Amino acid sequence: MTNYAKSNSVEEYLKLIESPKKTVKIPVIASINCMTAAEWVAFARDIEKAGADALELNIFFMALQKEMSSEKIEKLYYELVSRIREVTPIPLAVKVGLQFTNLTAVVNNLYVRGARGVVLFNRFYEPDIDIENLSLTSSDVFSSPSDIRQSLRWVGIISDKVEKIDIAASTGVHDGKAVIKQILAGASVVQICSVLYRKGEGQVRVILDELTAWMKKKGLNSLEEFRGKLSYSHIPDPSVYERSQFMKYFSSHH
Ligand SMILES: Cc1cc2nc3c(=O)[nH]c(=O)nc-3n(C[C@H](O)[C@H](O)[C@H](O)COP(=O)(O)O)c2cc1C
């Protein structure tokens, strides 16, 4: 997956799509960081012409205005998907962050407007504070394996509640075990980033080998045989996915 930041030149980005299309057999998915519909609609068509097999829209609006309702912000997501859907027939995925009051409804609305995939979740640059120098700094740019939790919950829930949309699980996937968990929760695919920065591209092979060894041990021949086996509606007590307060845990452990 190639990625476009606004500062890059458009031509350069289109070349990034064209050249792997000539040399590799796997699908090439373009990814753009979106702010407003207007600036990206024409570009989406160019991306399709450059040969991209699909397009991921990484949408995030930093909501700073106190007069702005969440409904209005969500509409910006929907408008973007609808407008880009009108100009290109290639499959669209939307990469979102975790902060929605009703994520299930938002994902459903994205599906209704033509998104065929959703990436759960993007991970953003987060600030930290240096209390010695009294200045703002950056917190850890890379995820850690424990960051898989939020995504795991929502992959498990959304894969059942909005069953027609494909889910790419993202954030905190650092090894084969995490891939297995996300597929069991209902993910169609899994994305990795931090682990590649930290340990290099060789991790793809390591992760695939771990997945394959586990499947062999369990007598599984394809991902389909276990995809979604532990999603929201496939477990005896779905409330495990819903549970968010620790109260019950502590009361039973005292
Ligand atoms: C250095 C760095 C740069 C990133 N740049 C982008 C970007 O331009 N667009 C995007 O959609 N996600 C970007 N991400 C987010 C990753 O694609 C990914 O969603 C996130 O890091 C969570 O996955 P991980 O836990 O495997 O790292 C970036 C992440 C890192 C660490």
Is the CB of residue 5 below 6 angstroms from any atom belonging to ligand 1? yes
**Which atom of ligand 1 has the smallest separation from the CA of 141?**
31
**Which atom of ligand 1 has the smallest separation from the CA of 56?**
11
pLDDT score at 250:
62
CA 177/CA 200 separation, integer angstroms? 18
pLDDT score at 7:
47
CA of 233 to the centre of ligand 1 (A): 30
CA 53/CA 29 separation, integer angstroms? 6
CA of 145 to the centre of ligand 1 (A): 14
Is the CB of residue 95 below 6 angstroms from any atom belonging to ligand 1? yes
C-alpha dist (Å) from residue 160 to 2, 163, 233: 29, 5, 7
pLDDT score at 249:
62
Q: Which residue's C-alpha comes closest to atom 22 of ligand 1?
A: 171
pLDDT score at 144:
95
CA 151/CA 56 separation, integer angstroms? 18
Residue among 226, 228, 216 nearest 159 (CA): 228
What is the Cβ-side half-sphere exposure of residue 182, based on CA atoms within 13 angstroms? Answer: 30
pLDDT score at 11:
85
pTM greater than the 0.85 cutoff:
yes
C-alpha dist (Å) from residue 186 to 120, 135, 136, 222, 232: 12, 42, 38, 14, 9
**Which atom of ligand 1 has the smallest separation from the CA of 147?**
25
Q: At what angle do helices 70-87 and 37-49 cross, to 10 degrees?
A: 30
**Which atom of ligand 1 has the smallest separation from the CA of 173?**
26
Instruction: Write out the two tokens for 31.
Output: 């990814």
Is the CB of residue 150 below 6 angstroms from any atom belonging to ligand 1? no
What is the Cβ-side half-sphere exposure of residue 41, based on CA atoms within 13 angstroms? Answer: 12
CA 21/CA 29 separation, integer angstroms? 10
CA of 250 to the centre of ligand 1 (A): 35
CA of 123 to the centre of ligand 1 (A): 6
Mean pLDDT by 10 residues, the chain (254 residues): 57 90 92 75 90 94 90 93 94 95 97 98 93 95 94 97 97 98 98 97 98 98 98 91 73 59
Instruction: Write out the two tokens for 202.
Output: 């060789």
**Cβ-count burial 174-204 (b if 16+ within 10 Å, e if not):** bbbebbbbbbbbbbbbbbbbbbeeeeeeebe
